Amino acid sequence: MSVPNIAESSSSESPQLCRQFTFSEIQQATQNLDESLIIGHGGFGKVYKGTITNGSNPLIVAIKRLDSNSNQGSSEFWAEVNMLSNLRHCHLVSLIGYLDRRIDEEQRALAIWAQDSIKKGRLKQIVDTEIRESVSPKCLKVFAKLAKGCLHKHPKQRPTMAEVVVCLESILALQEKANNKPQLTIMQYFARFAPGIRSVNSLELSFDSAGGGSSVYSLESYFNTIGGENKTLRRFDLNTLIVATENFSEANKISPHAREPLYKGKLQNGLSIAVAPSSGTQHEKEYMNEASILVKVEHENVAKLLGYCIDGNRWFLVYDFAVVESLDRLIFDPECTLLNWDTRYKIVLGVARALLYLHKDAPVQVIHSDVTPGKILLDESLDAKLSSFRNATCLSINEADCFVLRICGTWGYMAPEYMLHGYLSSKADVYSFGVLVLEIITGHRLMTRGISYDSLLKHIGRNWFEGTLSNIIDPRIDVDSSSLTKFFEIGWLCVQEDAAARPTMEEVVSMLLDWFSCSPCGKNARNDYNYERQFEMY
């Protein structure tokens, strides 16, 4: 908002501050933004001629209104305000005021008032009178600390939503202890202002921030919290794991070149375990995510979390099963003869059943989002265990999909809609599963150096449509290629670019079982594989 300056011609700086106008004043000055008063257009937006009452004297002004489609934003807006409010020259327009409606004054004042009250220890006065007397002082103190952290001026110093939920659960536990009975008043009150939060479960398992900063609760407190939900979760000391893994020897390392190291070991009582070590805060949130998921799910084809270890800034997840190797180490090794067709089918069906459980039958709906051969661990019986839930996302049972800002996965296994747009649903896991099936059939990675992913898929598809599957089937599979046509079709359906065209994992499991009962390979394998047992389960 500016007026012509009729002062002397020399330039000067003035400490005078601009006045913040109300929207009603702007409406009155421009006759409710009358189009007939528009005197110009620019990159910023429209310019209106207006009349401001300055005491008893009317003042003719020009009012620029930022267009919502303008390329200019808050930084340009405030730069102009700061510059023109300090400079005065006869050939420069003089800024007399501004209005920024994007920040609601009452909300801004509320945050400042609350922060000031917390700083001065006047916590009671920020609590709604409806619940003021029911909140315990200790509970309120922790709640205020959480609110203060969320309002931190530096985004990286704010807690993540996973940390927020852990803190809220701790607050709820404090309140229940104070009242000696279940008390949901605070959570209900919080939910009034966060309608997008459907449940604690859907939040505590999903991370939408990769920022660093101090945790509201330490990693140890986090494990204590989720340990309360799963009484069998055990805490190990580091010496126990050192002995079990032979000091984390290379001989016990599974997939030596994997991004996420894993070691096999054996406890003194003879129990076989797998240990995933990490250090530093860059992976802390991912490990918290995995732990909070695995304490809630249980399936024979999903890695079972036995416990954890925290030693200074080092921490470890401990799994309860005997790992022989990861699938990628065996399937892509041309010298490996362990994976005959019956074993490959068992692995595929095991992974399919794990995903079906996670999508449909688990206490919370889990989208793994990174199903790759490296994430499939094989035990002594070569049964598949789906592992590595560090980047998994959880939805409530009634939710079908979500959009995520942080896309995590392995190139070539990520569904197009997830990789390009952050759109995540169970169909993203179906796509990854389809890639896995095609790799198990061919014995080759679909991501090969020097060959584009699309061209390799087209090569596979062309051989299928031309009836020359024998050209692409792994020669280590001693079966007639014609009997694998239906099995290949399952994998091909799963990698459709359109998510809606892909089957669900329930349909995939049904197709796999139908193929097994009808295929000659399936019939020949019945003596070696308990088909009836698998069929009873689904």
User: 26 φ, ψ to 5°?
Assistant: -65, -40
Q: How far apart are CA 336 and CA 267, in angstroms?
A: 29
Cα gap 184→190, rounded to integer Å: 10
Would you give the distance in Å from CA 407 to the centre of its chain? 7
DSSP 161-206: HHHHHHHHHHHHHHHHHHHTS---HHHHHHHHT-TT---HHHHHT-
Query: Residues near 102 by Cβ (< 8 Å), separated by ≥ 6?
Result: 74
Task: Look up 370 and say whether it is catalytic.
Answer: yes
| Among the listed residues 322, 303, 317, the one whose alpha carbon sits nearest the alpha carbon of residue 235 | 317
Q: How many CB atoms lie within 10 A of CB 431?
A: 23
The closest alpha carbon to 459, from 444, 478, 480, belongs to 444
The C-alpha atoms of residue 161 and residue 141 are separated, in whole angstroms, by 19
On whether the CB atoms of residues 373 and 332 are closer than 8 A, the answer is: yes
Cα–Cα distance measured from residue 298 to residue 381, given in angstroms and rounded to the nearest whole number: 19
**Phi, psi of 253, deg, nearest 5:** -85, 130
Burial level of 519, CB count in 10 A (0-12/13-18/19+)? Answer: buried
Active-site hit among 328, 342, 370, 429: 370
DSSP string, 242-300: HHHTTTT-GGGEESTT-SS-EEEEE-TTS-EEEEEEEESTTTHHHHHHHHHHHTT---T
In this structure, the strands spanning 38-41 and 45-54 are: antiparallel
CA dist., res. 146 & res. 171, Å (int): 10
Nearest 5°: phi and psi at 312? 65, -125
CB atoms < 10 A from the CB of 14, how many?
11
DSSP character at residue 496: -
Q: Residue 401, SS3?
A: strand
Question: What single letter denotes the amino acid at residue 347?
Answer: I
DSSP string for 359-385? IIISSSEEE-----GGGEEE-TT--EE
∠ CA 9-10-15 to the nearest 5 degrees? 115
Catalytic sites, residue numbers: 370
